[in-house]
Amino acid sequence: MNPRKSYRFHTQVIHAGQSPQDWQGATLPPIFQTASHLHPTAEGLSQTFAGQAPGYIYMRMTNPTNRVLEEKLSALEGGQGAVVTSSGMAAISNTCMALLRAGDELVAGASLFLSTYLLFTNIFPRYGITARLVESTDSQAIEKAINSKTRFVYLETIGNPKMDIPDLARVAEIAHQRGVPLVVDNTLATPYLCRPLELGADVVLHSTTKYLSGHGDVVGGVIIDGGNFPWPEERFPDFQPFVEQKGALAFLDKVWREHHVSFGTTQAPMHSYLTVIGLDTLALRMERHVDNALKVARYLRGRPEVTWVNYPGLEDHPSHNVALKQFAGRGFGGMLTFGLNDQEACFRFIDNLRLIYHLANLGDCKSLVIHPYSSQYISFDEPTKQKLSITPDMIRLSVGIEAVEDICEDLGRALDSLSK
């Protein structure tokens, strides 16, 4: 066993996947900025292509810098292997495409990240694929939606931006009873708060763009295989060659060999390098994110201009108890939403912020706001916005790691401007 596996999370984020002895003593992974790798013999390259010998071939397939990040993220989630991808959406679309064929179905929580929602409801139907969307917190509805055509259940640890939190252990149990795997987008929780594989999930995905890299400097994604799902032949006949060849890593091999390579969703090695540096401080950053977010949620709740606050850390939040159990008391995430009177108030509030950045991203160490209704969701029709809880009075706030007093003062100043 790798002795590093026994280290605690705060140590693993820094040391997992590190091998300075292979890097001429360098404490950070070299950036292998090369499209291709030399092979001394024809026989050797043939064996590498056949998967019978280790080695790197071509950057679209594998890269040594990317491999370091893959090992690190797989260790942090307790997985058996990982593939990093060019974006979070590449991780999501590759995973789904590897699991689906024309005529198949999937069951997903309804409060999905918007590009995932569009993929499931707009693009998949063109290929004869049906996504059944149900409330992610309603385990019974998930159970009912699974049928003989279902190939997987898909959930987000914390719905973005609805902030609803499904009971992953319960849903994993239901999915497995019905013979299908559970895929979890763990972007908003990160392995600091939640390790879905330990709760029974089978595949974990991330947008590494957010908390994992933490500095708003890269776009990237990762697919992590838990290696425990048996891929029964009856429902997954197309998986059998991979099960025979790769055993526990059947899914990872399929998604890598068929989809990652064919769709060309390569992570730039420079992005992996920056993400490795970002991960060094993940545990520290998350401690501060969750601490600040709870204080900010309480502050906002005390302000008369704020009509509602949606944060799982507040005791009356519908997902509070699930979050307490599932996130092991470590906190409730760094993102929240809140209401002002109307869109006009939201615009005026945003225009009066000085410290907090107004932009489309989250999970940065800097505090960020956006008015989703008029920006990311501008092209969605009204009924869909309502279904996704995207209302004109809603502000989304990704709470950063600045001094919480400064964050609250900035929010306070912008709220003051509403009564002027």
Ligand X SMILES: *Cc1c(COP(=O)(O)O)cnc(C)c1O
List interacting residues with ligand X (CB under 6 A). 87-89, 113, 115, 156, 160, 185, 187-188, 207, 209-210, 219, 221, 362
Torsional sign, CA 211, 215, 221, 223: negative
Q: Residue holding tokens 């929602």?
A: 117
Closest approach of ligand X to the CB of residue 115, in Å: 6
Closer of 118 and 249 to ligand X (Cβ): 118
Closest approach of ligand X to the CB of residue 158, in Å: 8
Q: Which of 294, 370, 291, 323 is nearest to 114 (CA)?
A: 370
Closer of 210 and 317 to ligand X (Cβ): 210
CA pair distance 211, 215, nearest whole angstrom: 8
Closest approach of ligand X to the CB of residue 91, in Å: 8
Closer of 156 and 253 to ligand X (Cβ): 156
CA pair distance 143, 375, nearest whole angstrom: 34
**128 conformational bin, left if phi > 0, alpha if psi -120 to 50, beta if neither:** left
Overall residue count recorded for the chain in this entry = 420
Give 324-330 contacts, CB < 8 A, sequence gap 24+: 326/157, 326/165, 326/167, 326/168, 326/169, 326/194, 326/199, 327/189, 327/193, 327/194, 328/193, 330/192, 330/193, 330/286, 330/290
N- to C-terminal Cα distance for the chain?
Answer: 64
Closest approach of ligand X to the CB of residue 90, in Å: 7
Closest approach of ligand X to the CB of residue 220, in Å: 6
Closest approach of ligand X to the CB of residue 209, in Å: 4
Closer of 18 and 319 to ligand X (Cβ): 319
Closest approach of ligand X to the CB of residue 205, in Å: 8
Closer of 188 and 204 to ligand X (Cβ): 188
Closer of 26 and 123 to ligand X (Cβ): 123
User: Residue 178, SS3?
Assistant: coil
Written as one letter, the residue type at 150 is T
Closest approach of ligand X to the CB of residue 11, in Å: 27
Number of alpha carbons in the 13 Å side-chain half-sphere of residue 268: 7
Closer of 220 and 339 to ligand X (Cβ): 220
Closer of 74 and 187 to ligand X (Cβ): 187
Contacts for 313 with CB less than 8 Å, ≥ 6 apart: 290, 293, 294, 297, 320, 323, 331, 332, 333
Query: Whose CB is nearest to ligand X?
Result: 88
CA pair distance 260, 98, nearest whole angstrom: 9
